[in-house]
A and B are shown apart, each in its own frame.
Chain A
Amino acid sequence: MPWRDLVKTRAAMDGMAIERAIARIAHEILERNKGTDKLVLLGIPTRGYHLALRLQKKIEEIEKVTVPSGAVDATLYRDDLGIKKTQPSLKKMDIPISIDGKVIVMVDDVLYTGRTIRAAMNALMDFGRPLAIKLAVLVDRGHRELPIKADYIGKNIPTSAREGVKLHLEEVDGVNEVVVTEED
């Protein structure tokens, strides 16, 4: 990829590591939820949504149950809409069933400031009253600006605020990896 020539990057997770993390998170979700009862997986587009689909597949392999999954787009609930110079593109909102009384596991790629998760929770509340909302992320890179923490974490990657953390998934980017980029 050409952008690699422009910024210094280091690989933090390869495809196998991502797969193992997803498998472990799937087991953890099932263990703590005591099965798939009331479970709904909602990914934050774009890559969080694909992670949710992978989790769904993994849970299906383990329990032989297809857990409902979908997408929750936080864009319209962001707190920086009047501050940023441009408007972010809207993504997919796909809540497949009523979320009333359900245990929602929100899935995102990288947990950073926590603002996206706050926005996504507000979005969810407009769709009903879940029994609980849990958060699963592939990478927690620290630097929270809101009191939010993940319930399921693939990997903690300590970073400086000047660095960027990117997940690439085969479904979107043609390759499975987590890279840390140094930006200045």
Chain B
Amino acid sequence: MRLKRKDLLGIEELEKSEIEQLLSTAESFKEVSAREIKKVPTLRGKTVINLFYEPSTRTRTSFEIAAKRMSADAVNISVSTSSVSKGETLKDTAKNLEAMRPDCIVVRHSSSGTPQMLSKYVSCSVVNAGDGAHEHPSQALLDMLTVKEKKGRIDGLKLSIIGDITHSRVARSNIYGFTKLGAEVTVCGPPTMIPPGMERLGCRVTTDMNEALRGADVIMMLRIQMERQKESLFPSVREYSRLYGLDDAKLKGAKDDVIILHPGPINRGVEISSEVADGPYSLILDQVTNGVAVRMAIFYMLLGGTREEAQLK
């Protein structure tokens, strides 16, 4: 059992069988986090560098905990305290980190394609922890794990992704992942937040929230990314919330056994109301728990095996 690659850059290039392997491995890793001694010696002596050019609580902590529970050494670099603030280029940073012989670099960057570029400069594994509006593969994997766990399957389910589709790497990774596993994906948001050509990714497009909610087995709400709203894509937060925010009233139009996901951090009262976020349909905290297991699985699959082998790609 192995991935057919040294890096995890996106869900797009993964084969269905690789996704299934990652998910079943992650299911097994959940047990480790439930133990009293939450540590296994599997990746002893491996070094993981978390290189984050964007702020993050959940993802960075989750990767760090995952590495540590596997006995790997995790080092965190946040840009504000690094030489990047002195003007070092990404390539130089990568080359210098590489010289310290890490086994894996986990990278988050606001520019799409950064992990791909980095993977060409370094011989160690590169894991994409979110690049611009491109992909966020570990988030999609943990979403798939959460749905699979709750619904018992992904094949044949209806998933609606609601919010700012244009800027969302979470949406893109999930569209690739869920459609590969046989789900029907609908994206929904204001017309200014849906890029043209989404249908080519194999999903339906609607601007009507009620239509997106009707018949959905899984609702995935996206965060309104205030930091990426350079041009105003909607007149006001209040109007957005009224049309596309999920609250109890809108939820009445959904199935009785619907489940609600959100990649976090949530803007309470904007894209999701507090009573829904904390309500019985919400799996937001299960997602976070599953995130650690998924990242342990990623490390297990990428960092095992001999180095030479991995470099053959």
Contacts and interface: CB of A to CB of B under 8 A. Distances in A.
Interface of A: 73, 76-77, 81-93, 122-123, 126-127
Most chain B CB within 10 A, of A87, A91, A123, is at A87
Contacts of B24: 89-90
Contacts of B300: 87, 90
Contacts of B41: 76-77, 122
Nearest to B309: A85
Contacts, number: 53
Interface in B35-78: 35-37, 39-42
Nearest to B308: A85
Contacts of B309: 85
Interface in B1-34: 1-2, 24-25, 28-29, 31-32
B295 to A, nearest CB: 15
B305 A86 contact: yes
B237 to A, nearest CB: 45
Contact of B306 (A76, A83, A93, A126): A83
B304 A93 contact: no
Interface of B, helix, strand, loop or mixed by DSSP: loop
Nearest to A128: B36
Contacts of A77: 40-42
Sort chain B's interface into a size bin: 20 to 34
A63 to B, nearest CB: 30
B301 interface: yes
A81 B24 CA distance: 18
A86 B309 CA distance: 9
B40 A86 contact: no
Closest 4 CB pairs of A and B: A90-B28, A87-B304, A76-B40, A86-B2
Interface of B: 1-2, 24-25, 28-29, 31-32, 35-37, 39-42, 300-301, 304-306, 309
A135 to B, nearest CB: 21
Interface of chain A, helix or strand or loop or mixed?
A: loop
A93 B41 CA distance: 15
B305 A126 contact: no
Contacts of A122: 41
A84 to B, nearest CB: 7
Given A84-B305, A93-B31, A126-B35, A76 B1 contact: no
22 contacts: A76-B32, A77-B40, A81-B304, A83-B306, A84-B305, A85-B2, A86-B304, A87-B1, A87-B2, A87-B300, A87-B304, A88-B1, A89-B1, A90-B25, A90-B300, A91-B28, A126-B35, A126-B37, A126-B39, A126-B40, A127-B36, A127-B37
Of A83, A85, A89, A91, most buried by chain B (CB within 10 Å of CB) is: A85
Nearest to A79: B41
B306 to A, nearest CB: 6
Contact of B29 (A82, A90, A126): A90
Given A91-B28, A93-B28, A85 B305 contact: yes
B42 A86 contact: no
Contacts of B301: 87
A2 B106 CA distance: 45
B42 A76 contact: yes
A182 to B, nearest CB: 27
B139 to A, nearest CB: 22
A122 B37 CA distance: 13
Nearest to B305: A85
A114 B80 CA distance: 51
A82 B40 contact: no
A82 B304 contact: yes
Given A76-B32, A127-B37, 17 more contacts: A76-B41, A81-B42, A82-B305, A84-B304, A85-B2, A85-B305, A85-B306, A85-B309, A87-B1, A87-B304, A87-B305, A90-B28, A90-B300, A91-B28, A123-B40, A127-B35, A127-B36
Contacts of B35: 126-127
A90 B30 CA distance: 11
Nearest to A83: B306
Contacts of A93: 28, 31
Contacts of A82: 304-306
B275 to A, nearest CB: 38
Contacts of B2: 85-87
Contacts of B306: 82-85
A44 B2 CA distance: 22
Nearest to A77: B41
